[in-house]
Amino acid sequence: MGSNPRVVGWYYNNFCLPGLGLGGATYKAPVLVSTNQVKQQKHSSSSFATPFSSFSLSFSGAGGGAGFRRAVVVMASSGLKTSNYLRHVESLKSFPSGAGNIPQLNAVILGEALASEETDRVYPSEDFTRQALVPSPEKYLEMYKRSIEDPAGFWADIASQFYWKQKWDQEVCSENLDIRKGNIKIEWFKGGITNICYNCVDRNIEAGLGDKIAIYWEGNELGVDGTLTYSQLLHQVCQLANYLKDIGVKKGDAVIIYLPMLMELPIAMLACARIGAVHSIVFAGFSAESLSQRIMDCKPKAVITCNAVMRGPKVIQLKDIVDAALADCAKNGISVDVCLTYDNQSAMTRENTKWQEGRDIWWQDVIPKYPTTCEIEWVDAEDPLFLLYTSGSTGKPKGVLHTTGGYMVYTATTFKYAFDYKPSDVYWCTADCGWITGHSYVTYGPLLNGAAVVVFEGAPNYPDSGRCWDIVDKYKVTIFYTAPTLVRSLMREGDQYVTRYSRKSLRVLGSVGEPINPSAWRLLALLFSPLMQEWFYNVVGDARCPISDTWWQTETGGFMITPLPGAWPQKPGSATFPFFGVQPVIVDEKGVELEGECSGYLCVKSSWPGAFRTLYGDHERYETTYFKPFAGYYFTGDGCRRDKDGYHWLTGRVDDVINVSGHRIGTAEVESALVSHPQCAEAAVVGIEHEVKGQGIYAFVTLVDGVPYSKELRKSLILTVRKQIGAFAAPDKIHWAPGLPKTRSGKIMRRILRKIASRQLDELGDTSTLADPGIVDQLIALADS
Ligand code: WTA
């Protein structure tokens, strides 16, 4: 079987991206294909009779050898209900800590090779598509086309679904993104009067959601939890807002928030927004030095913190850090009058908390005394909502400033479509509110949609590595949004932590922050989608969880390039196509827009509502960093490849590009290749100076638990890269790494790796924000092994 030309699936022909040439774009509808066509499409594929008489398996691709295997499963006829699907599944046999073996498949595919990733497509299931908000490429194209041709109409229609005290002026959007024509300016809904807190909370209550859970809070310790309905949330927000007003915080004043993932964190954000204050959250993993730098920059009226927090088994004394930061600020002539401190009793007692009378106030002593209603401070759409400091190429952090109206409309809309949000969903984003992901997709985006949100205080590996799936089962999480790094680190611990839980509730997965290599993508799909295995074993059901690989930035406010699950087939590792209203362009070094299949610098043409409006106090740096490199465009700082089908593949920051003998190699590409090696758990690649090649490739490699370092393995890793990318991309050095230096949010600190790689050990800089600072010494010790 399998060789008969019958219809078994569908794929897109000439799927040309609208943003890459609207008007002239060719777009052909999905076509049904036969197994024969599939086989022609897939290089060197072949078909087998399988232990399941109802399948034909078509193997694809060249290269490979050892490594994990993949088969394209074409479900064909034989009375199967789901005969029109084309699915990809993988064997996890040789993969570290995978979801468990699928023995029958392993047996069949042994000896087969890896496919070229670009030709790989994973299709949404029919069931998913049927219920999706955007169920087809046609629907997407129709909406996308309108968002580009008539952005004002498109966004005004969406904005009208929110509450505006007063409608915006005539012009929905006014912008200048071309530095040659004057100062950069972006304005959306100017003159519109609204309030994002009102839209997140009061509006939902008025719509009848008062008793719906807004926040499920899960504490660090098992069994410590809490909930807030929308009405309860409103009360708490109002009490804090009243207090802030009482101590003199006014519209436009800054408030620094330095809190862990307690419910009080989103409450504090919303309270600031309610009174028109500008919150600036500093991730509660930053050192006192970083905190004081931010306090000195924005000169807040108050700092909101807590005495301490438990992160797994560790106590972190946040108040001590704040004290040190405030002392440092005072030395520099900046004083903060109020330090509102939440008494986090599970982590520390009041008696042990250092206290400065007059300045420090216990949250629990004052906030409950305030009224549970609070007048809204109505603000202009272009009034600032928050500042969020992010790192740039220089040492000074950039205060990314977002305003109210456009950000509100954009985060709500991106959340809704990228996760295919339905009112019955329970949504969990593992990000901390200290990062943009937590702003847009823990607090604002979901609450604007009236969603139920899980907020988790603890660490994903505490009390053991099954904690995330425990939480998923406990709250019946349906949408799970996380970073690839978290998945990879948990997978190292073994599948028993995963398979112990059902995870059945999940229906959409999201990933953010770094290019997710195809192997991690598939592992995510398998691990999180028990139904996928069930389907395999029982020949029912589907891969029910599409993955939204969302590409965006602190600066963009919301998703820019992202799958809309249900709308089109995905290619694992690709962020796919632009969100509504976003026009990504890829330019060469000279700023010339490239057409069709290409690789270059990722820019964005025209503004979108969620765009940041300036860098706080430094509009010039804003213009220089983002709008001068390629006049006429917003420059993202990322490299991007667009394949022949118009899919976007983020290749990493362009500052992480290595130029080896004139070949540009994305560190992410090399990492992806290394990680596909069955014994490699994680890899980070940096460039080092090389006498002959200009730059050489230096790879830090973390092995799967229990695998010993060896010369043979080093060779085999290099061989894997040579095979997957080419000889020019072979790492010059493999540095064994028991772990990688990561921030607590999971970002690898490449700055430190570069210094270790180039043996500039006296220039390692601040390592205090690392999740495990001890890793640096271990890496140094292993440098010449
Ligand atoms: C990277 C996080 C590949 C990218 C929301 C970007 C990604 C930077 C993805 C922004 C993705 C984010 N695929 N790379 N899906 N998402 N990035 O400001 O390099 O912390 O420029 O915002 O993360 O990081 P930021």
Per-residue pLDDT reduced to its tens digit, 159-174: 999 999 999 998 999 9
Beta pairing class for 479-482 and 225-229: unpaired
Residue 534 in this model has a pLDDT that exceeds 60: no
Average pLDDT over residues 258-279: 98
3-state secondary structure of 450: coil
Angstrom distance (rounded) from CA 499 to CA 497: 6
674 Cβ contact partners less than 8 Å away, ≥ 6 residues apart: 680, 683, 685, 699, 701, 717, 720, 721, 731
Mean pLDDT of the region 45-74: 27
Supply the pLDDT for residue 653: 65
Q: How far apart are CA 508 and CA 521, in angstroms?
A: 13
Q: Tokens standing for 678?
A: 């069955």
| pLDDT attached to residue 61 | 30
Sheet holding 583-587, edge to edge: 583-587, 598-605, 634-642, 648-653
**Residue 610 Cα, ligand 1 centroid: separation in angstroms?**
15
pTM for the predicted model, two decimal places = 0.75
Crossing angle for the helix pair 264-274 and 230-246, to the nearest 10 degrees: 60
Ligand 1 atom nearest the C-alpha of 562 is 15
Catalytic (active site) residue 655: yes
Is the torsion defined by CA of 454, 457, 463, 466 positive or negative? Answer: positive
Task: Give phi and psi for 762, each to the nearest 5.
Answer: -85, 0
CA of 555 to the centre of ligand 1 (A): 10
pLDDT band at 245 (very low <50, low <70, confident <90, very high): very high
- Is any ligand 1 atom within 6 A of the Cβ of residue 443? no
Q: Where are the alpha helices (DSSP H) in 150-229?
A: 151-159, 196-197, 203-204
CA 10, 16, 19, 25 torsion: positive or negative?
negative
Residues in the chain: 785
Is pLDDT of 152 > 90?
A: yes
pLDDT in tens, 345-396: 999 999 999 999 999 999 999 999 999 999 999 999 999 999 999 865 444 6
Residue 618 Cα to ligand 1 midpoint, Å, equals 23
27-41, 436-450, 744-758: least confident range: 27-41
> Which residue in the list 655, 656, 762, 772 is annotated as catalytic?
655
Residues 281 and 433: their CA atoms lie apart, in Å, by 7
Q: HEC profile for 62-107?
A: CCCCCCCCEEEEEECCCCCCCCCCEEEEECCCCCCCCCCCCHHHHH
* Band of residue 629 on the pLDDT scale cut at 50, 70, 90: confident
> Of all helices (H) and strands (E), which one includes residue 176?
strand 173-176
Q: Is the CB–ligand 1 distance for residue 94 below 6 Å?
A: no
- The mean of the pLDDT values for the chain is 80
Q: What is the 3-state secondary structure (H, E, C) of 723-769?
A: HHCCHHHCCCEEEECCCCCEECCCCECHHHHHHHHCCCHHHCCCCCC
Q: What is the pLDDT of residue 663?
A: 59
Residues 96-140 have pLDDT tens digits of 212 222 222 222 222 222 233 556 677 787 888 999 999 999 999
Contact 336, 359 (CB under 8 A): yes
Tell me, in angstroms, the distance from the centre of ligand 1 to residue 483's CA: 10
Tokens read off for 40: 């022609």
Q: Give exposure, 215-253, as e/b (b: 16+ Cβ within 10 Å).
A: bbbbbbeeeebeebbbbbbbbbbbbbbbbbbeeebeeeb
Q: Directed axis angle between helix 137-149 and helix 151-159, to 10°? A: 110
Q: Using the predicted structure, report yes or no on whether residue 540 has a pLDDT greater than 60.
A: no
* pLDDT > 90: percent of the chain: 56
554 lines ligand 1 (CB under 6 A): yes
The more confidently predicted of residues 394 and 771 is: 771
Q: Do the Cβ atoms of 154 and 146 come closer than 8 Å?
A: yes
